[in-house]
């Protein structure tokens, strides 16, 4: 499709230049279904050029930068994002429809913070040293140096676009790699601004390349490319499985952050007020479109009635509307396609006989928003643990409430899922918190909180939720490989 001129054109960024494409597709605003931009779709030749320029930069200036020079530059990237914060906020809202409060407090500041945090961690990332003495009397000095992987393909999703992109781009650059970023086709705008920032602060050509396009069209060519040295991916588990097959021939290092079907457990000894507010937040934040969001709530029988009544009140009090309207918590879902997917689960729940405690449909505005992708916050109950609604990731503002009696019972029921990303436990009993947390088969357990992150802590999932850990030394461990150098001492 050729590009009409009345809408902005979002271009790929290759070897330090924005380049036009032969093919563009529509960028749609989920608030009202209106087209807002034309997004370029890279062709194979452009992907080749991006990878070539990245290889060249590794041999050239970037490969000769000291760690401190690289890290100083990452700080400048963070500073420039902060200076252009309003543009980043507007672009993220236009692509996703998420609320101003969330974009202002989470997406953009945390996106910038990733560059600062990984720059500071990389400065002190060191290798290992051993004096070796063999039984036959030989001696050697063994040490390791951390070498970048080379050209890293970063493939990111639409739910926290800048935050999740920089979560991978920042440590990859801090470790000395060059990057080919492929953001989600739903949310390319902040990636384009990031490319501008790279130029503005003097990141050498070829170090950061941006390839735009639809994953199904261009993903395989990128991930299976013989000159891409590693693939780091955040997205759906099915896409992860597909990428794993695509990289198998090259035996490339992969880091996968995939889907979730996360539970909250509310014990009878929980602080009820905190638990209700916490579960409401973990279910409805970003319209349920965070991989860590709660979709299943297990509440102890003794407090179930009062918990459900209070959670219903919280859901009913949520203001749905324009992202920049005062006090709006819920904007639309990201796209019509995603709205259809979430609504199909609402329908499935109805067909399977679920009780709808609140929600279940689409809000009516009688204005342009009726063409958007809005959806009601929804709480249901009454389905079995092995029902598809309780097994598959919905990725919308919905939770199913089940009642439990015993601690061992709830641990087993929470673990009854093919996913293993996160769990939130609500209890005032500290022994119970320590006892239960390690028994949940996930990568991350929160106790009496949710979405409280330390960038140094390991992050990732088990089972269908991912491979590997990122965060802190785990990211540095993935984006740089230790090379062992052994020097014989005579």
CA pair distance 187, 37, nearest whole angstrom:
11
Using the minimum distance from each CB to ligand NAD, give the nearer residue, 245 or 473.
245
Among 161, 176, 215, 372, binds ligand NAD (CB under 6 A): 215
* Residue 441 lies near ligand NAD (rule: CB under 6 A): no
Please report how close the Cβ of residue 278 comes to ligand NAD at its closest, in angstroms. 20
Using the minimum distance from each CB to ligand NAD, give the nearer residue, 71 or 421.
421
* Residue 194 lies near ligand NAD (rule: CB under 6 A): no
Active site residue 291: yes
Using the minimum distance from each CB to ligand NAD, give the nearer residue, 243 or 287.
243
Among 92, 95, 185, 376, binds ligand NAD (CB under 6 A): 185
CA pair distance 307, 301, nearest whole angstrom:
10
Among 204, 461, 468, 477, binds ligand NAD (CB under 6 A): 461
Catalytic residue among 291, 293, 373, 399: 291
Among 47, 154, 164, 476, binds ligand NAD (CB under 6 A): 164
Angle between helices 161-174 and 108-123 (to 10 degrees): 10
Q: Are 36 and 29 in contact (CB under 8 A)?
A: yes
Please report how close the Cβ of residue 173 comes to ligand NAD at its closest, in angstroms. 19
Q: Return the closest-CA partner of residue 180 out of 200, 160, 162, 156.
A: 156
Please report how close the Cβ of residue 160 comes to ligand NAD at its closest, in angstroms. 6
CA pair distance 87, 447, nearest whole angstrom:
36
* Residue 475 lies near ligand NAD (rule: CB under 6 A): no
* Residue 81 lies near ligand NAD (rule: CB under 6 A): no
Among 36, 51, 74, 155, binds ligand NAD (CB under 6 A): 155
* Residue 234 lies near ligand NAD (rule: CB under 6 A): yes
Residues near 225 by beta carbon (within 8 Å), at least 6 away in sequence: 47, 48, 51, 153
Among 111, 148, 161, 259, binds ligand NAD (CB under 6 A): 259
Please report how close the Cβ of residue 327 comes to ligand NAD at its closest, in angstroms. 26
Using the minimum distance from each CB to ligand NAD, give the nearer residue, 276 or 394.
394
Task: Tally the residues of the chain.
Answer: 490
Structure tokens at 222: 């990128």
Catalytic positions are 257, 291
Residues that bind ligand NAD (CB under 6 A): 155-159, 164, 182-185, 215-216, 219-220, 223, 234-236, 239, 242-243, 257-260, 291, 393, 395, 421, 461, 465-466
């Amino acid at each position: 499709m050729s590009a009409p001129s009345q809408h902005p054109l979002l271009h790929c960024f290759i070897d330090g230049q924005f380049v036009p494409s032969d093919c563009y597709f529509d960028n749609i605003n989920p608030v009202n279904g209106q087209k807002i931009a034309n997004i370029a779709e890279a062709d194979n030749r452009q992907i080749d050029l991006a990878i070539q320029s990245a290889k060249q930069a590794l041999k050239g200036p970037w490969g000769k930068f000291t760690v401190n020079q690289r890290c100083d530059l990452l700080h400048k990237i963070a500073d420039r994002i902060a200076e252009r914060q309003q543009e980043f906020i507007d672009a993220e809202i236009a692509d996703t429809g998420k609320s101003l409060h969330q974009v202002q407090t989470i997406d953009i500041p945390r996106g910038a913070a990733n560059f600062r945090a990984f720059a500071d961690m990389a400065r002190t990332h060191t290798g290992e040293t051993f004096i070796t003495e063999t039984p036959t009397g030989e001696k050697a000095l063994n040490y390791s140096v951390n070498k970048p992987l080379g050209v890293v393909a970063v493939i990111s999703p639409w739910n926290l676009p800048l935050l999740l992109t920089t979560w991978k781009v920042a440590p990859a650059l801090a470790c000395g790699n060059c990057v080919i970023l492929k953001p989600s086709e739903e949310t390319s705008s902040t990636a384009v601004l990031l490319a501008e920032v790279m130029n503005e602060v003097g990141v050498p050509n070829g170090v950061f390349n941006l390839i735009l396009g639809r994953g199904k069209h261009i993903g395989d060519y990128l991930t299976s490319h013989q000159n891409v040295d590693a693939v780091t991916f955040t997205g759906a588990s099915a896409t992860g499985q597909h990428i794993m097959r695509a990289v198998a021939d090259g035996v490339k290092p992969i880091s996968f952050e995939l889907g979730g079907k996360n539970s909250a457990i509310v014990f009878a000894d929980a602080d009820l007020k905190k638990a209700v507010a916490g579960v409401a937040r973990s279910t409805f934040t970003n319209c349920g479109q965070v991989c860590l969001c709660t979709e299943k709530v297990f509440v102890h029988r003794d407090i179930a009635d009062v918990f459900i009544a209070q959670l219903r009140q919280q859901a009913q009090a949520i203001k749905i509307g324009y992202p920049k309207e005062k006090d709006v918590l819920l904007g639309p879902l990201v796209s019509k396609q995603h709205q259809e997917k979430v609504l199909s689960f609402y329908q499935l729940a109805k067909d399977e006989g679920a009780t709808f405690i609140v929600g279940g449909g689409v809000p009516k505005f009688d204005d342009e928003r009726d063409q958007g992708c809005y959806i009601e916050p929804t709480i249901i109950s009454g389905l079995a643990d092995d029902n598809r609604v309780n097994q598959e990731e919905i990725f919308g503002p919905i939770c199913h409430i089940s009642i439990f009696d015993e601690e061992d019972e709830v641990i087993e029921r929470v673990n009854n899922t093919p996913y293993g990303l996160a769990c939130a436990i609500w209890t005032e009993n500290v022994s119970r918190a320590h006892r239960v947390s390690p028994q949940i088969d996930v990568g991350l357990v929160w106790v009496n909180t949710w979405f409280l992150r330390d960038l140094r802590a390991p992050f990732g999932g088990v089972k269908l939720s991912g491979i590997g850990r990122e965060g802190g030394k785990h990211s540095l461990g993935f984006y740089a490989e230790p090379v062992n150098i052994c020097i014989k001492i005579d």
